[in-house]
């Protein structure tokens, strides 16, 4: 019985000693060389010439009929997936793909059983390659935060501009008319697709935890312009039969430059 009590006492003493050492065995923040960044970034848009076209349409078509004007495009979402590889403890090589889009849809109801739908959008697919420089880390237990600065090049593909109108049940007093004044051709799509280059600057904080997941918060400036995007016109009759224009109707500049707020989750490998 005495031996059991002594063994229990020594076990208690050993347990207390081990408990006293537990706070020293803290987990450290995990820093992986390869990280997959997934981000959804609210973004401002310049789109000056595109907004001028919207303003002209408001003045020439909507305002004289008393319809609510279309809004200028100043905001969109930039979704991005990017690989970031630490070639050195403070330098990464970054490469990825994303999509930036801004859309607007408006419905007018002139009379019972009549509707006019206008939808317009600008969007582009974005490829990027660049590099980031990380400053000295701030460590607190199993948490590490590092400021970073990045720069890189962009390639814009499938850059699109679209402006379309569809009417249902309208008559000569409520219709917004055709794009060219053609008789029974009321519905139409103005569309253009092209490519272009760009560049970006970014800065923010990369926060690491004791897991494979990390978080990035920051800001990015993009210079993204397609200066000569050829546009085409397709008109439709009441039966939906398409009448495309035989040649482009002109060039439009699509300026998707702006500032994005970086909000990203990274997965380490």
Task: Kindly indicate the confidence band of residue 184, based on its pLDDT and cuts at 50, 70 and 90.
Answer: confident
Collapsing DSSP states into helix, strand and coil, what is residue 34? strand
Q: Is residue 28 part of a domain?
A: no
Residue 13: predicted pLDDT: 42
- Write out the residue range of the structural domain in which residue 201 sits: 45-268
Q: Which residue has the higher pLDDT, 153 or 3?
A: 153
Task: Kindly indicate the confidence band of residue 159, based on its pLDDT and cuts at 50, 70 and 90.
Answer: very high
Which tens digits make up the pLDDT trace of 133-145? Answer: 999 999 998 999 9
Q: Report the distance separating Cα 119 and Cα 159, nearest Å.
A: 17
Q: Is residue 221 part of a domain?
A: yes
Residue 15: predicted pLDDT: 41
CATH number at residue 134: 2.40.160
Domain count for the chain, please give it.
Answer: 1
Q: Is residue 167 part of a domain?
A: yes
Q: Is residue 27 part of a domain?
A: no
pTM across the whole model: 0.83
Contact by Cβ (8 Å): 195, 160: no
Q: Is residue 40 part of a domain?
A: no
Span 23-35, average pLDDT: 75
Above pLDDT 70, what percent of the chain?
90
Residue 183: predicted pLDDT: 67
> Is it the case that residue 37 has pLDDT exceeding 60?
yes
Task: Kindly indicate the confidence band of residue 3, based on its pLDDT and cuts at 50, 70 and 90.
Answer: very low
Q: Is residue 252 part of a domain?
A: yes
Which tens digits make up the pLDDT trace of 163-180? Answer: 999 999 888 889 898 887
Q: Is residue 20 part of a domain?
A: no
Residue 116: predicted pLDDT: 95
Which tens digits make up the pLDDT trace of 220-269? Answer: 999 999 887 889 999 998 888 998 988 888 888 889 999 999 999 999 99
> Is it the case that residue 14 has pLDDT exceeding 60?
no
- What value does the mean pLDDT of the chain take? 88
Torsion sign (Cα): 8, 9, 12, 18: negative
Span 76-82, average pLDDT: 97
Which tens digits make up the pLDDT trace of 206-231? Answer: 999 999 999 999 999 999 998 878 89
Q: Is residue 26 part of a domain?
A: no
Task: Kindly indicate the confidence band of residue 12, based on its pLDDT and cuts at 50, 70 and 90.
Answer: very low
Q: Which residue has the higher pLDDT, 160 or 200?
A: 200
Contact by Cβ (8 Å): 99, 93: no
Of the candidates 99, 266, 147, 127, the residue with the CA atom closest to the CA atom of residue 200: 127
Residue 26: predicted pLDDT: 53
Torsion sign (Cα): 237, 73, 49, 252: negative
> Is it the case that residue 101 has pLDDT exceeding 60?
yes
Q: What is the DSSP letter of 72?
A: P
Instruction: Report CA-CA distances (Å) from 216 to 42, 79, 147, 264.
Output: 14, 14, 10, 5
């Amino acid at each position: 019985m005495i031996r059991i009590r002594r063994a229990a006492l020594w076990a208690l003493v050993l347990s207390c000693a081990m408990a006293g050492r537990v706070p020293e065995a803290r987990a450290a923040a995990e820093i992986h060389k390869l990280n997959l960044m997934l981000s959804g970034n609210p973004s401002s848009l310049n789109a000056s010439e595109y907004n001028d076209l919207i303003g002209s349409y408001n003045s020439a078509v909507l305002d004289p009929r008393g319809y609510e004007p279309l809004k200028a495009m100043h905001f969109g979402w930039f979704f991005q997936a990017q690989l970031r590889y630490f070639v050195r403890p403070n330098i990464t090589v970054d490469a990825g793909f994303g999509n930036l889009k801004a859309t607007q849809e408006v419905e007018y109801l002139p009379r019972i059983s009549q509707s006019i739908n206008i939808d317009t959008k600008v969007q582009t697919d974005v490829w990027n390659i660049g590099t980031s420089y990380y400053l000295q880390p701030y460590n607190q237990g199993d948490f590490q935060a590092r400021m970073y600065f990045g720069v890189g090049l962009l390639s814009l593909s499938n850059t699109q501009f679209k402006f379309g109108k569809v009417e249902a049940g309208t008559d000569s007093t409520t219709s917004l008319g055709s794009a060219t004044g053609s008789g029974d051709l009321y519905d139409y799509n103005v569309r253009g697709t092209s490519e272009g280059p760009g560049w970006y600057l970014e800065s923010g904080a990369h926060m690491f935890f004791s897991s494979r997941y990390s978080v990035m918060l920051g800001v990015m400036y993009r210079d993204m312009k397609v200066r000569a995007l050829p546009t085409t016109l397709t008109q439709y009759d009441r039966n939906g039969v398409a009448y495309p224009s035989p040649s482009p109707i002109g060039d439009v500049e699509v300026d998707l430059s702006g500032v994005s707020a970086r909000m990203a989750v990274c997965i380490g490998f």
